[in-house]
Amino acid sequence: MDIQWICAVTTILAWFCTGSSGHQTSVEPPRNLQIIDPGLLGHLCIEWQPPPSLLTLDQCTIKYKLKYRSTGDADWKVVFTKKLKYGVGFDLSKRTEAKVQTLLEGRCTNESEVKSDWTHATFQLPSQGDLESQIRDLHCVYYDWEHLTCTWQLGRLAPPGARYEFYYWYEGLDHAVQCDDYRQTHGRNTGCNLQNLRQAEYTDFNVCVNGSSESTWLRPSYFTFHLQNLVKPSPPEKLSVSISASEEVHVEWSPPAGGTPPHCLDYESVSTQVETAFTFSQSNRSHVACVRVRGKTNVFCADKGFWSEWTRECFYVSRKDEKQLFLLIAVVLSFLTIVIIFILAAQRKKRTNGEKNRSPTSLYLE
Ligand SMILES: *[C@@H]1O[C@H](CO)[C@@H](O)[C@H](O)[C@H]1NC(C)=O
Ligand SMILES: *[C@@H]1O[C@H](CO)[C@@H](O)[C@H](O)[C@H]1NC(C)=O
Ligand SMILES: *[C@@H]1O[C@H](CO)[C@@H](O)[C@H](O)[C@H]1NC(C)=O
Q: What is the mean pLDDT of residues 271-275?
A: 61
Query: Among 273, 274, 280, which residue has the most ligand 3 atoms within 8 Å of its CB, making it the best to mutate?
Result: 280
Q: 285 in ligand 3 pocket by Cβ < 6 Å? A: no
Cβ 179 under 6 angstroms from ligand 2:
no
**Separation of alpha carbons 314 and 141, rounded Å:** 30
Per mean pLDDT, which range of 42-46, 192-196, 306-310, 313-317 is the poorest?
313-317
Phi first, then psi: what are they for 5, rounded to 5°?
-65, -45
Domains of the chain: 22-123 (2.60.40.10), 131-231 (2.60.40.10), 233-321 (2.60.40.10)
User: Is the Cβ–Cβ distance between 177 and 171 less than 8 Å?
Assistant: no
Q: What is the structure's pLDDT at 336?
A: 84
Identify which ligand lies nearest to the alpha carbon of 279.
Answer: 3
Tally DSSP H helices, then E strands, for the chain.
3, 22
- CB 233 within 8 Å of CB 209: no
More confident residue, 225 or 241: 225
Question: Residues of the chain with pLDDT > 70: what percent?
Answer: 81
Q: How far is CA 107 from the centre of its chain?
A: 49
The 10s digit of each residue's pLDDT in 31-60 is 999 999 999 999 999 999 999 876 666 678
For residue 279 and ligand 3, the question of a CB distance below 6 A is answered with: yes
For ligand 2, whether the C-beta of 212 sits within 6 Å is yes
Residue 129 is which amino acid? G
**For range 165-169, the mean pLDDT:** 97
Task: Say how many Å lie between the CA of residue 283 and the centre of ligand 3.
Answer: 7
| Position 309 pLDDT exceeds 90 | yes
The residue that leads in pLDDT, 313 or 113, is: 113
Backbone angles phi, psi at 335, to 5 degrees: -65, -45
Measured from the Cα of 210, ligand 2's closest atom is 1
Q: Are 64 and 47 in contact (CB under 8 A)?
A: no
Counting ligand 1 atoms within 8 A of each CB, the residue from 24, 60, 110 with the most, and so the one to mutate, is 110
* Residue-level pLDDT at 209: 96
With H, G, I as helix, E, B as strand and everything else as coil, classify residue 307. coil
In the predicted structure, residue 355 carries a pLDDT above the cut 90: no
With cut-offs at 50, 70 and 90, classify the pLDDT of residue 246: confident
The whole-chain average pLDDT of the chain stands at 84
Range with top average pLDDT, 111-120, 279-288, 314-323: 111-120
- pLDDT at residue 15, as a whole number: 47
Distance from the CA of 210 to the center of ligand 2, in angstroms?
Answer: 6
283 lines ligand 3 (CB under 6 A): yes
Query: Which atom from ligand 2 is nearest to the alpha carbon of 41?
Result: 5
pTM of the model: 0.73
Sequence-distant (6+) residues with CB within 8 A of 138 are 150, 151, 152, 207, 209, 221, 223
Torsions phi, psi for 234 (to 5 deg): -70, 160
How would residue 161 be classed by pLDDT, with cut points 50, 70 and 90?
confident
Taking the C-alpha atoms of residue 311 and residue 292, their distance in angstroms, rounded to an integer, is 5
Read off the pLDDT of residues 65-86 as tens digits, 9 standing for 90 and up: 999 999 999 999 999 999 999 9
